[in-house]
Amino acid sequence: KCVVFWMRMSDLRITDNKALSRASKQAQQDGIPLLALFIISPQDFVAHDIGARKIDFVFRNLHSLKKSLSELHIPLYVAVQKRRKDIPTSIIDFCEKYEARNLFANIEYEVDELRRDIETLKLGLSKGYRANFEHDKCIVEPGKLVTKQGHAYAVYSPYQRNWLATVNSNISYHLEDCANPTGNSSSIRTSDVFSPLFDTSIPAADVGLQEDDANKMKEVWPEGEEAAAKILQRFLNTKSRTSQLGAVNPVSSGSEDSPNNNRVAEYGKERDRIDSDTTSRLSAYLTSGVISIRACVRATMLAEAKKIEGDKTSGIGRWLQELAWRDFYTNILAAFPRVSMGRPYLEKFSAVVWENHQVPQESGWKVGMTGVPIVDATMRCINEMGWVHNRARMITAMYLTKDLMIDWRVGERYFMEKLIDGDLSSNNGGWQWCASTGVDPCPYFRIFNPYTQSLKADPTGNFIRNWIPELRKLHGTDLHNPPATLADELGYPRPIIDHHVARERALRRYKNPGEE
């Protein structure tokens, strides 16, 4: 007999994990061992366009977890299930085999995953097994906050105000629910109990990642809860340095202890600067659940030692608003499942005519050869590091959809392939915001001028110079928008499209969806 905790790709941690905590309590109450289970289904990776870097990150974290769980005498069983539709049956078969009356898991809000869990729940009930699903990904669970009319929020600002009030109403929000698991008593020799029944080794991860890329990802984005906690502390306690761009290990960099002038304190003012290392770089860890959002919010509240004001100029207040975007987009995914099915939230833009036959332009964008330095630096940074600053993501997404008029779904897919923090709700939300097709989007007539954006976001030019060696000698406006002869001389492409002409085309097509 045992209790089963079914771990997923989005909750890869022991600390502050709601379903794990509940499973542990149940096991203690029943006086039986706790077992952790992880199912790998390659079809899940394909269905969500999850790239090799993120899959590799998941496997690295699984190895790290296996070690930490074994210190608590909790075995981790990792199994491969080729067909994702067979997962519910195999989970309930597993419960039957090990007489696990109670199964615990945290909810994943994507449509297929919700269907899978409902199926598991039904199948379990029909055979006398209880599947318990917990809200864990967000600090305020999807569906909890609604408008006065009882509808899901589709506008961020009122959602965020309600979100902040809810979080402030309980400083240790949900803390009591998430005590760390006590672990199995060492006298219950779980290895003896379970080893004859299954192999506890983790299957090899053949994810198609080149060895040098894998090594770089491991160095820049180290796995494990300890690494995530250090990154959070670095953000809260150390100062940013303008020389650190892209290729920085967020764990080891930033040792200057300066509580009054640290990254988070400067965040309100500096967060849109692409040329310095000002943001937390926690997204990969939040996306895979290596750290919980509750831990991030509690740490900032402790740092302030009070409730958080919604003040945009306060660093912590502003940072919390970014975390609220993450909850907001997850809320949207749960409330409007069509957004995860490749459909725009604003259906009226379904008919916009895209330039999807422009293969050379699309490839130029992907490899960072559009002739627009800020866009190219961004794409080269993503290709190299699996991550780039939010403002850079916005500029390049706006450029692909409005200047090149290439379908936002092409960009969404490419980001998922390359990003280490690829997350369906945030990525879809970001792309649909930039393409003006999403909830509370950028209005279609507010088209970023990439050159002005570049001057504002990268005023030192360090970001562009770092990622485009061809332009390293340039400064000022020449760097942000190189004159054609200079570009030719330096072997850098001329712009593949004229921004002003492209802008007019985008305005026309958005105004009259369906027309050229």
Active site residue 322: yes
Which of the residues 322, 355, 417, 470 is marked catalytic?
A: 322
Q: Per 3-state DSSP, what percentage of the chain is helix, strand, and coil (rounded to 5)?
A: 55, 5, 40
Which of the residues 408, 427, 428, 466 is marked catalytic?
A: 408
Nearer to ligand FAD, 149 or 313 (CB): 313
Which of the residues 168, 237, 354, 449 is marked catalytic?
A: 354
The residue type found at 120 is T
Q: Give the Cβ contact number of residue 374 at 10 Å.
A: 32
- Compute the least distance from the CB of residue 450 to ligand FAD, in Å: 14
Active site residue 390: yes
| Closest residue to bound ligand FAD by CB | 430
Nearer to ligand FAD, 297 or 487 (CB): 297
Which of the residues 6, 221, 319, 325 is marked catalytic?
A: 325
Nearer to ligand FAD, 254 or 422 (CB): 422
Residue found under tokens 């831990």: 295
Which of the residues 168, 390, 417, 470 is marked catalytic?
A: 390
Nearer to ligand FAD, 39 or 293 (CB): 293
Active site residue 325: yes
Would you call 305 exposed, middle or buried from its count of C-beta atoms within 10 A (0-12, 13-18, 19+)?
exposed
- Compute the least distance from the CB of residue 355 to ligand FAD, in Å: 19
Using DSSP's 3-state secondary structure scheme, residue 131 falls into strand
- Compute the least distance from the CB of residue 154 to ligand FAD, in Å: 15
- Compute the least distance from the CB of residue 181 to ligand FAD, in Å: 25
Q: Which residues contact 176 (CB under 8 A, 6 or more apart)?
A: none
Q: Within a 13 Å sphere around the CA of 131, how many CA atoms are in the beta-carbon half? A: 26
Tokens representing 178 are: 């998430």
The residues of the shown chain that bind ligand FAD, judged by CB under 6 A, are: 271, 279-283, 286-287, 322-323, 325-326, 329, 389-390, 393-394, 397, 415, 419, 421-423, 426-427, 429-431, 434
State phi, psi for 163 to the nearest 5 degrees.
-60, -45
Cα 174 to Cα 215: distance, rounded to the nearest angstrom: 37
Strand partners, 40: 80
Task: Count the helices and strands in the chain (H runs, E runs).
Answer: 23, 5
- Compute the least distance from the CB of residue 260 to ligand FAD, in Å: 19
User: What's the order of all strands across the beta sheet hosting 102-106?
Assistant: 76-80, 34-40, 3-7, 102-106, 130-134
Q: Which of 257, 261, 210 is nearest to 233 (CA)?
A: 257
Tokens representing 314 are: 């306060």
- Compute the least distance from the CB of residue 148 to ligand FAD, in Å: 25
Nearer to ligand FAD, 36 or 382 (CB): 382
DSSP 440: S
Cα 227 to Cα 216: distance, rounded to the nearest angstrom: 16
| Rounded-to-10 torsion of CA 319, 323, 329, 334 | -160
CB 376 within 8 A of CB 480: no
CB 461 within 8 A of CB 89: no
Nearer to ligand FAD, 43 or 390 (CB): 390
Nearer to ligand FAD, 66 or 418 (CB): 418
204: left (phi over 0), alpha (psi -120 to 50) or beta: beta
Q: Which of 206, 211, 137, 216 is nearest to 386 (CA)?
A: 216
CA angle at 491 for the pair 490 and 495, rounded to the nearest 5°: 100
* Beta-sheet pairing, 3-7 with 34-40: parallel
Active site residue 226: no
Active site residue 470: no
Tokens representing 32 are: 């039986």
Let me know how long the chain is: 516
- Compute the least distance from the CB of residue 174 to ligand FAD, in Å: 18
Which of the residues 431, 433, 466, 467 is marked catalytic?
A: 431
Nearer to ligand FAD, 289 or 422 (CB): 422
- Compute the least distance from the CB of residue 448 to ligand FAD, in Å: 11
- Compute the least distance from the CB of residue 267 to ligand FAD, in Å: 7
Nearer to ligand FAD, 178 or 385 (CB): 385
Active site residue 431: yes
Residues known to be catalytic: 322, 325, 354, 390, 408, 431
